[in-house]
Amino acid sequence: MNKAIYYGIRDVRVEDVPEPEIGPGQVKIAIKYCGICGSDLHEYLHGPFPNTVFGHEACGTITAVGAGVNGFSVGERVCSVFPGAFAQAIVCPQQQLLKIPDSMSWERAALLEPLAGAAYAIERGNIQPSDTVFIAGAGPVGLMVLLGLKAMGVQTIYMTDMVAQRRRKAEELGAALVWDPLETKTPAKIKTLTNGRGVDIAVEAVGVEASLKDCLASTRQRGTVVVQGIFTQRAMVHMFGFVVRETTMIGTNAINPALAHKWLSDGAIAPERIVTDMVPLADIVSNGFEALAGPDKRAIKILIHN
Ligand SMILES: [Zn+2]
């Protein structure tokens, strides 16, 4: 079978490898889609991520069930959050699987894992439906947070992004107001929008100093900054405002699949709307990673398919 194997920075090769062998407690899945995550792109461009996660946003059909597995059977549709799924098939522990209802499309199911990251961040930040929220960044991470907040009934969500296409997408998906942080000074804009108070919660979804600063400076007294962006460089932040405003800052790097699954099943949000490209496994480098790494920033979320 074919599988994309990570060799190192900008070195991913699709190779013919033996089908994985199934063991006790494991389930074998024929992969339908696997999304490219920001962490996959980070590995591709900058080197391995802690607890490597290469190819973990997958969905597919069960083709075999190992000894001792209960609750799953051949032919069922599932999401898997287990790495190694830029492949035609994977074998994974049953704990890493969630069933997909018949009514849910494959495209929506493929977005479960990234939405689960947003679900975790939202829960970790203790965001409430009545909160006013600012999200710095309208890439896949920021847009998933936006959709998660929408699913839980948050009304007022402001967003920024430098890329026009991403700003348009954020508007389309229900952000109250979206602007270019290079053209508009975000803290001043947020002050005006919140009658001088600042937002209750800011979510950093880019991983750069400028947007972290915007988050810290846009949050109200005793507000919270949730950091989900993947930083590749140091950030110099002024700690004076952080102390004076008694800000809480939280890093997040986990998933809550159960909450994301609930949101998807409720059907109030359609995260598949952030998908810009469907790319065959054979083209994962040229039309997948390089499309995301390139300068034109047209692609938002790419699904790899078999
Ligand atoms: Zn992911």
* DSSP line for 212-237: HHHHHHHEEEEEEEEE-S--SS----
- How many angstroms is it from 56 CA to the middle of ligand 1? 6
Residues 288 and 211 in one domain: no
What pLDDT is stored for residue 266 in this prediction?
Answer: 86
Beta pairing partners, 302: 277
| Closest C-alpha to 212, from 194, 196, 184, 231 | 231
Helix/strand/coil for 41: helix
In a domain, 120, yes or no: no
In a domain, 298, yes or no: yes
Question: Of 228, 251, 274, which marks where a domain is finished?
Answer: 251
Residues 143 and 243 in one domain: yes
What residue type is assigned to position 141 of the chain?
Answer: V
Place of tokens 């100093």: 209
Question: Of 208, 234, 251, which marks where a domain is finished?
Answer: 251
- How many angstroms is it from 39 CA to the middle of ligand 1? 6
Burial class (CB in 10 A: 0-12, 13-18, 19+), 286: exposed
What pLDDT is stored for residue 56 in this prediction?
Answer: 94
Dist. CA 5–CA 18, nearest whole Å: 13
* Residues 176/158, Cβ–Cβ less than 8 Å: yes
Residues 247 and 263 in one domain: no
Residues 268 and 246 in one domain: no
What pLDDT is stored for residue 49 in this prediction?
Answer: 78
- How many angstroms is it from 301 CA to the middle of ligand 1? 11
Q: What would the mean pLDDT of 119-144 be, rounded to a whole number?
A: 97
Dist. CA 198–CA 216, nearest whole Å: 10
pLDDT cut 90: percent of the chain above it: 92
In a domain, 283, yes or no: yes
Range of the domain at 13: 2-114+255-305
Kindly report the CATH number assigned to the domain that includes residue 107: 3.90.180.10
The predicted-structure confidence for 158-203, as pLDDT tens digits, reads as follows 999 999 999 999 999 999 999 999 999 999 999 999 999 999 999 9
Query: How many domains does the structure of the chain reveal?
Result: 2
- How many angstroms is it from 255 CA to the middle of ligand 1? 9
In a domain, 121, yes or no: no
Tokens of 107: 């495209």
Least confident window among 2-6, 209-213, 297-301: 297-301
Residues 29 and 75 in one domain: yes
In a domain, 119, yes or no: no
Kindly report the CATH number assigned to the domain that includes residue 171: 3.40.50.720
- Compute and round to an integer the Cα radius of gyration of the chain: 20
- How many angstroms is it from 185 CA to the middle of ligand 1? 30
What's the whole-number average pLDDT of the chain?
95
Q: What would the mean pLDDT of 252-256 be, rounded to a whole number?
A: 93
Tokens of 264: 């998807």
In a domain, 155, yes or no: yes
Q: What would the mean pLDDT of 124-140 be, rounded to a whole number?
A: 97
Q: What would the mean pLDDT of 49-56 be, rounded to a whole number?
A: 81
State yes or no: pLDDT of 50 exceeds 80: no
The predicted-structure confidence for 2-38, as pLDDT tens digits, reads as follows 999 999 999 999 999 999 999 999 999 999 999 999 8
Buried b vs exposed e over 173-206: b needs ≥16 C-beta within 10 Å? bebeebeebeeeebbebbbebbeeebbbbbbbbb
Place of tokens 């700690």: 239
Q: Residue 143's pLDDT band (boundaries 50, 70, 90)?
A: very high
- How many angstroms is it from 101 CA to the middle of ligand 1? 21
Residues 88 and 147 in one domain: no
Strands 248-251 and 132-136: unpaired
Residues 155 and 78 in one domain: no
In a domain, 280, yes or no: yes
Question: Of 251, 270, 291, which marks where a domain is finished?
Answer: 251
The predicted-structure confidence for 54-109, as pLDDT tens digits, reads as follows 999 999 999 999 999 999 999 999 999 999 999 999 999 999 999 998 989 999 99
Residues 240 and 138 in one domain: yes
Burial class (CB in 10 A: 0-12, 13-18, 19+), 219: buried
- How many angstroms is it from 260 CA to the middle of ligand 1? 13
Residues 207 and 287 in one domain: no
* Residues 38/139, Cβ–Cβ less than 8 Å: yes
State yes or no: pLDDT of 53 exceeds 80: no
Residues 149 and 194 in one domain: yes
- How many angstroms is it from 38 CA to the middle of ligand 1? 7
Residues 143 and 224 in one domain: yes
Residues 242 and 259 in one domain: no
